[in-house]
Amino acid sequence: MSERNEISWADFEKVLIVAGTVTRVEAFPEARKPAWKVWVDFGPYGEKKTSAQVATLYRAEDLLGRQVVGVINFPEKQIGPFRSQFLLTGFPTDEGVVLTAVERPVPNGTRLA
């Protein structure tokens, strides 16, 4: 583990981490690692898409309608032929990425505090 770098509350507030609901999932065969193209409704922030390397642990039907947590204020990133608009958060394990879970439903666009 790397050395602990403390940040200020102001630094944390810059990161827009919000809940949203998966509205669409498509295969991403061009990805280097198993991935899905995922669209998420972030309420007042609109619908955003990403490439998510979660295909080893989650089927498309597991993701559809699920509430997830994303970082939505990173710059867009080109991933092969696809433009990713947010970071879907999760925890890397030996078996694959485990998605960050919302313990009970919250309105789409609710910010992590």
**CA separation for the pair 70, 40 (Å, rounded):** 9
pLDDT in tens, 66-75: 999 999 999 9
Read off the pLDDT of residues 19-52 as tens digits, 9 standing for 90 and up: 999 999 999 999 888 899 999 999 999 999 999 9
Q: Hey, where are the domains in the chain? A: 21-99
Superfamily for the 21-99 domain: Nucleic acid-binding proteins (2.40.50.140)
pTM, full prediction: 0.93
Q: For tokens 């944390």, name the residue.
A: 12
